[in-house]
Amino acid sequence: MYSFGLKKISLIDIFIISLGFVLRVTAGGVVTGIEISHWLYIMTFLIALFISFAKRRDDVLLEMQTGEQMRKSVSGYNLEFISSAISILCGILIVSYLLYITSPEITLRFQNRHAYISTVFVIMGVLRYLQITLVEGNSGSPTKVLIKDRFLQITVILWMLFFCLYNLHEVT
């Protein structure tokens, strides 16, 4: 249905894309036999929504510069709306991560009482992507952004190191 017309409807296009990522996570859980946490579904949906809006913002900028419409759904967006939606999603994403990382499910699984400190890296990463989107106007390809942006790469590495080192410290 997406290919036959829903992709032309603003908001619906982004929500379907985001739900597609949730379906991929679900399929991965089914294939591996791993029960997927509701937190993973929530975070996957929110990050996909955030990145999809950032990508649409890039489409709007390209249309403004060239006069060419990249896709039909872009006519339902403008910079003010998309920037507001992205900002709202940033807040929701960060709060959701805080709720996730402090949830009993996570604190019991990892026995990590101070995992909430990792939120610093999540905030840095989200704000950096927001900066790339709103200041640099360069969020058209999320893959290229991650591959090329050293700040984001270092932030992700520091986030992973935090858990590796903290968990080693907790065990010893």
Is residue 161 scored above 50 in pLDDT? yes
CA dist 158 and 2 (Å) reads 38
pLDDT (average), residues 125-147: 91
Q: How many CA atoms lie within 13 A of 14 on its CB side?
A: 23
Average of per-residue pLDDT across 31-42: 92
pLDDT tens digits along 19-30: 999 999 999 999
Among 38-42, 60-64, 93-97, 118-122, the range scoring the smallest mean pLDDT is 60-64
Confidence of residue 168 (pLDDT cuts 50, 70, 90): low
pLDDT at residue 172 in the model: 40
- Angle at 72 (CA atoms; ends 66, 76), nearest 5 degrees: 90
**Greatest C-alpha distance within the chain:** 61
Q: Give the model's pLDDT for residue 46.
A: 97
pLDDT score recorded for residue 99 = 93
**pLDDT of the residue at 171:** 44
Any idea what DSSP says for residue 97?
Answer: H
pTM: 0.85
Chain centroid offset of residue 133 CA: 13
Compute the distance between CA of residue 159 and CA of residue 120 in angstroms, rounded to an integer: 9
What is the per-residue pLDDT for 107? 79
